[in-house]
Structure 1
Amino acid sequence: MSICMIYFYLFFISFISLFFLSLNFMVLDKTVILEFMLLDINSCFIEMVILLDWMSLLFMSFVLFISSMVIFYSEEYMSGDLNINRFILLVVMFVLSMMLLIISPNLISILLGWDGLGLVSYCLVIYYQNEKSYNAGMLTALTNRIGDVMLLMSIAWMLNYGGWNYIYYLDYFKLDFKMQLITYMVILAAMTKSAQIPFSSWLPAAMAAPTPVSSLVHSSTLVTAGVYLLIRFNFSFTENMMYLLLFFSCLTMFMSGLGANFEFDLKKIIALSTLSQLGLMMSILSLGGYKLAFFHLLTHALFKALLFMCAGNIIHNMNNNQDIRYMGGLIYHMPLTCAFFNISNFSLCGLPFLSGFYSKDLIVEVMSMMYLNIFIYVLFYISIGLTVCYSFRLTYYSLTGDMNFISLNNLSESSMKMLKGMGGLIFFVIMSGSILSWLMFPSPYFICLPLLFKFMTLIMIMFGMYIGYSVSSFSYYYNNKSLSLYKYSLFFSLMWNMPILSTLGINYYPIKMGNIYIKMFDQGWYEYYGSKNIFNYLKMLTWFFQKLSMNHLKIWFILMVLWLMFIILI
């Protein structure tokens, strides 16, 4: 039995046991905290603490289920790779880091999982060794380092409380200045990990990783770590923090939705849709609905994992081509993959009675009941419309119309393991929304809205469909460069110039100064008066003294003659 299959069975069995255990904890409203003392310094205790409640167990079961399907899928997707065992072990390390983060109510053990995610994600992003992957890996690692530093600083501030088990202090010290400072740092850390503005540029760059990794990263591990941490920390939020987080998350949701409509890279479109959904989770979290954010986190994890798996299968069959303009008519060549792809896309859009609808509709309706300004309200609904817009654009370009790839193509669905891996998720993509809503909200939310507001989500979905179709069919036949919108599309597809700010904006001036420094100092006057000239001068003196020491008798006679001549002349 291969190493992939061993991990698949291990994770799948773990998923089943953890899922039923989480149901038991949910029904009994039970929480278990296990503490293992490692070290005590005066009044500070360093303990390994494990928190088991319905939330951590349910999230762990979802992570294990998705990772088991991804590992099963990877065996065939990465079959041509010589180091497939190394790849699978990296994925397993990634999942274990996430497990450690989920079960930790302690900031130090959270940092272990947090840093583990950052380091292993760097190894996975640079897995295909080329310059683009290295750049993307460095951008990912360095952006996430900001969050790591914030967590380290919050660990230092937690010394004021004599321990790092934040779970005990959140509610009681909410208005304490030190707790507020710690929460601000944790929010900043979560914003870097979950790629909120202005740290968004690493998320599309991380698409350099193999597709199974993207499937795992964008569904239930790396990017969701920040949201999960804030779900745990939500009790210590003050009003100012919530307004700040709401503003940034809504902007992220809007920016990524707009950018995805101008993108042509299949994986980047799905990556930007992840960013949009993360913005949605963060925004409802900042409005106080932490359970709703968690609900959307779980449903989103399933359909996003499947979406990436379908994209991977399409890329695999398209001879590693990711540009959606070369696709078209895939529904005739790959019917099952396209069916899965469409169901996931509809779920992402929030089409009624698929899993995404239950969480998304509930989030938007709860937001509509809040006493908020028109800015947030309009941004929310526009972002929903944009989600549907880019989803339909993606469907239009890839699944319908004529095949735009090479004429001698051999598209087929012969990859049985990949299809089985995707097939394992499809039931949950359709059903998980309703199942989770019955489990998590035994007494349903009562939302009383006017008829127009109640149908507003559906209206925006239909409007988004229409806009997506009309824009796609227009730009499908007319080259984008001939349109006056080209410069705007460049701005939007570059995520409001954020990658330029985070890479070129930071690198350009230090590199330019370095060039001036080399020319003026290292290769200029410093070189003349410094190292090289001193070396030449010392070498000449050494040569002179060496000549003296080698010819000392002859030199002595010459000196004697010169001395005698000097005496005679005087």
Structure 2
Amino acid sequence: MICKKYSLGFLILSIALFFLSLKFMMNDQVVLIEYDFLKFNSVNISMVLLFDWMSLLFMSFVLFISSMVIYYSYEYMMGDKSLDRFILLVVMFVLSMMLLIISPNLVSILLGWDGLGLVSYCLVIYYQNFKSFNAGMLTALSNRVGDVALLLAIAWMLNYGSWNYYFYLSIMKHDMELQVVTWLVILAGITKSAQIPFSSWLPAAMAAPTPVSSLVHSSTLVTAGVYLLIRFSSSLSFTMMFVLMFLSSMTMFMAGLGANYEYDLKKIIALSTLSQLGLMMSILSMGEFYLSFFHLLTHALFKALLFMCSGVIIHNMMNYQDIRCMGGLIYKLPLTCSLFSVSNFALCGLPFLAGFYSKDLMLESYSMSYLNLFMYVCFFLSTGLTVCYSVRLSYYVLTGKNNFYSLNSCSESGLVMLTGMMGLILFVIIGGSMLMWIIFPTPMFIFLPIGMKFMTLLVIIIGGLMGYEVSQFKLNYMNYSLIFSNYSYFVGSMWFMPYLSSVGAVKFPLNMGNKMFKKIDMGWSEIYGSQGIMKMYWILSPLLRVIFKNNLKIFIMLLVFWLILMFMI
């Protein structure tokens, strides 16, 4: 019952906030609410909340997706002994995101930011096993870098008398000291949104239950960094934009390439999230923050649905996530596979679905910019790779013969899960056009040659064909050659980033600790400490035993020696 109660509450609140955001947008209205907690002499501790069309619209989307995910969890987590605890953790997660969205103050942003980090750790280790523990530690420790960056930004802003960054945005770009705050916020943003070199925690966070993955990868944890940078977009200097552009485009390319070598269903979708985050960041670094926000919202819709469909598939495959064990599911789970295909098409940017409106606009505005050929090729190649791994995923999961048990029990009997997914499918289809009318009331005018105009569609078609060919690719001599296996291992392991951030980060300290343990704890400190004292006593003990047994004789003999010595002197 707790699932349905929170789900309904979030849905009603989401609808109310959506219409409120439309009102704010039409009136070009911004409301700042300041509440004083404590006034003592010159100390004034206050809580500031910012309501504008952007924060209200984003909150509306987060609450809507959360309501569908919580309703979906009622059946997905059925049989779990601590379902209520799970739902309350998810609610805390959503409320932390709400606090982050409406905060124009770095201190209250840190509260929401740390809330997301702490609750995400609790959710990643929800299934208590060794793999979840490792994933949780990697997630928590990677995100600590961003938390420390925000703490440093708070400390630096002590020089300016207020933590309300909202009032300093116009001068941040031109003030050398305030640019330190922006650099620290960029570091926090790329950490939370898993850009290179902090990318390895995002696929590891797949150890969490699928409803959590759906929420994390669509509208909460990973989008927090993008949203924060959208808020700070007017304070980004040219150098910051250049660094952000390079990191995000490399992330987009790396994730797209890695997803084509992955066989874990949830990790493929996680890498697709990483690729889309790179796309949002790179378009943001061009100064098009409205476009970045537009793609953030459309991506949230189809990515949440994609994860929910994968959850149903994993449930029916008896918790197997390897796509090579699947196949022919279109005959067993027709409705789920239809929803899965539609959300996959939206991810690819197929015309007139949600992803098309934002993705096509981003790529065309990129074509109009003055950036170099390397970035242009990287952008369009990454888009082609998105279609490539999506087609490969659909081929493995939906078509062919079933590679699982011959007598499998796949069925779409879960009406609650299907209802949760059906609530999202309408917005995956019409959400893009609806949001475009809302966010861009005046259409963007893009003038391009016919070749560049059709470039996006051409890349999608080529990527689809490549994905089909990759799926058909059977074991041949290339698989046995050392060069090809090393290349596929390098690309499939996200350019060795998980090893660098886990084994690579702890190998030197562990080796150093081992040497210190041997040389100091078990070495010199033992010689000059307890073991050395024990050896000294061991050597002296026979002499002491003689002294203590014959103490009277020795005393009289020493007295005689002393008297002789006295008389001689």
Under TM normalisation by the shorter chain, which class is it?
over 0.9
Question: Structure 1 length normalisation: TM-score?
Answer: 0.94
Taking the aligned partners of 1:145 and 1:279, their CA distance within structure 2 comes to 21
Alignment of 1:279-290 (within 5 A): 279-290=278-289
- Distance 1:478-1:544 versus aligned 2 partners, 3 A rule: same
Shift of 1:215: 0.4
Shift of 1:161: 2.0
Shift of 1:523: 2.4
2:265 corresponds to 1:262: no
2:324 corresponds to 1:360: no
Taking the aligned partners of 1:187 and 1:126, their CA distance within structure 2 comes to 28
Moved more, 444-453 or 172-181: 172-181
What is the SS of the residue equivalent to 1:533? helix
Which one of the candidate residues 474, 482, 488 is aligned to 2:480?
482
**Given residue 161 of structure 1, which amino acid in structure 2 is its aligned partner?**
Y
Taking the aligned partners of 1:548 and 1:354, their CA distance within structure 2 comes to 99
Moved more, 530-539 or 397-406: 530-539
2:407 corresponds to 1:408: yes
Taking the aligned partners of 1:64 and 1:116, their CA distance within structure 2 comes to 17
**Given residue 109 of structure 1, which amino acid in structure 2 is its aligned partner?**
S
Shift of 1:526: 2.9
Deviations 1:407-458, CA, capped at 9 Å, x for gaps:
1211111111111111111101111000000111111001111111111100
Aligned residue for 2:32? 33
**Given residue 79 of structure 2, which amino acid in structure 1 is its aligned partner?**
G
Shift of 1:518: 2.1
What is the SS of the residue equivalent to 2:156? helix
Taking the aligned partners of 1:149 and 1:175, their CA distance within structure 2 comes to 25
- Distance 1:321-1:563 versus aligned 2 partners, 3 A rule: same
What is the SS of the residue equivalent to 1:319? coil
Taking the aligned partners of 2:393 and 2:356, their CA distance within structure 1 comes to 19
- Distance 1:478-1:346 versus aligned 2 partners, 3 A rule: farther
Shift of 1:82: 0.9
Taking the aligned partners of 2:199 and 2:224, their CA distance within structure 1 comes to 15
**Given residue 459 of structure 2, which amino acid in structure 1 is its aligned partner?**
M
Conserved 8 A contact 1:5-1:72: yes
What is the SS of the residue equivalent to 1:351? coil
Aligned residue for 2:459? 460
Taking the aligned partners of 1:501 and 1:40, their CA distance within structure 2 comes to 48
Shift of 1:535: 5.0
Question: Structure 2 length normalisation: TM-score?
Answer: 0.95
**Given residue 489 of structure 1, which amino acid in structure 2 is its aligned partner?**
S
Aligned residue for 1:243? 242
Taking the aligned partners of 2:112 and 2:521, their CA distance within structure 1 comes to 44
Taking the aligned partners of 1:494 and 1:171, their CA distance within structure 2 comes to 42
Aligned residue for 1:529? 528
Conserved 8 A contact 2:547-2:554: no
**Given residue 496 of structure 2, which amino acid in structure 1 is its aligned partner?**
N
- Distance 1:77-1:546 versus aligned 2 partners, 3 A rule: farther
Deviations 1:129-171, CA, capped at 9 Å, x for gaps:
1111111111111111111111111111112221011111101
**Given residue 409 of structure 1, which amino acid in structure 2 is its aligned partner?**
N
Taking the aligned partners of 1:299 and 1:111, their CA distance within structure 2 comes to 26
Aligned residue for 2:272? 273
Aligned residue for 1:47? 46
Aligned residue for 1:183? 182
Shift of 1:38: 2.9
Conserved 8 A contact 1:249-1:283: yes
Taking the aligned partners of 2:537 and 2:477, their CA distance within structure 1 comes to 68
**Given residue 54 of structure 1, which amino acid in structure 2 is its aligned partner?**
W
Taking the aligned partners of 2:418 and 2:58, their CA distance within structure 1 comes to 25
Matched length: 565
Shift of 1:304: 0.3
Aligned residue for 2:437? 438
2:229 corresponds to 1:218: no
Conserved 8 A contact 1:43-1:162: no
Moved more, 3-12 or 461-470: 3-12
Conserved 8 A contact 1:44-1:163: no
Taking the aligned partners of 2:542 and 2:97, their CA distance within structure 1 comes to 67
**Given residue 346 of structure 1, which amino acid in structure 2 is its aligned partner?**
F
Shift of 1:271: 0.4
Aligned residue for 1:89? 88
Conserved 8 A contact 2:218-2:303: yes
What is the SS of the residue equivalent to 1:443? coil
Deviations 1:153-202, CA, capped at 9 Å, x for gaps:
11111122210111111013420012211111101110000000111111
Deviations 1:479-535, CA, capped at 9 Å, x for gaps:
984355221111011111111111111111111122222223322343233223325
Shift of 1:392: 0.4
Taking the aligned partners of 1:184 and 1:330, their CA distance within structure 2 comes to 48
What is the SS of the residue equivalent to 2:50? strand
Structure 1 unmatched ranges of 5 or more: none
Taking the aligned partners of 2:240 and 2:563, their CA distance within structure 1 comes to 96
Shift of 1:75: 1.1
Shift of 1:558: 6.9
Taking the aligned partners of 2:409 and 2:289, their CA distance within structure 1 comes to 48
**Given residue 247 of structure 1, which amino acid in structure 2 is its aligned partner?**
F
Conserved 8 A contact 1:44-1:159: no
Conserved 8 A contact 1:45-1:162: no
What is the SS of the residue equivalent to 1:122? helix
Aligned residue for 1:293? 292
What is the SS of the residue equivalent to 1:485? helix
**Given residue 223 of structure 1, which amino acid in structure 2 is its aligned partner?**
V
Shift of 1:399: 0.6
Conserved 8 A contact 1:215-1:304: yes
Taking the aligned partners of 1:74 and 1:525, their CA distance within structure 2 comes to 58
Aligned residue for 2:417? 418
Q: CA RMSD of the aligned region, Å?
A: 2.3
Taking the aligned partners of 2:505 and 2:491, their CA distance within structure 1 comes to 21
Taking the aligned partners of 2:175 and 2:31, their CA distance within structure 1 comes to 27
Taking the aligned partners of 2:167 and 2:394, their CA distance within structure 1 comes to 48
Shift of 1:4: 1.1
Taking the aligned partners of 1:30 and 1:542, their CA distance within structure 2 comes to 90
Alignment of 1:245-394 (within 5 A): 245-394=244-393
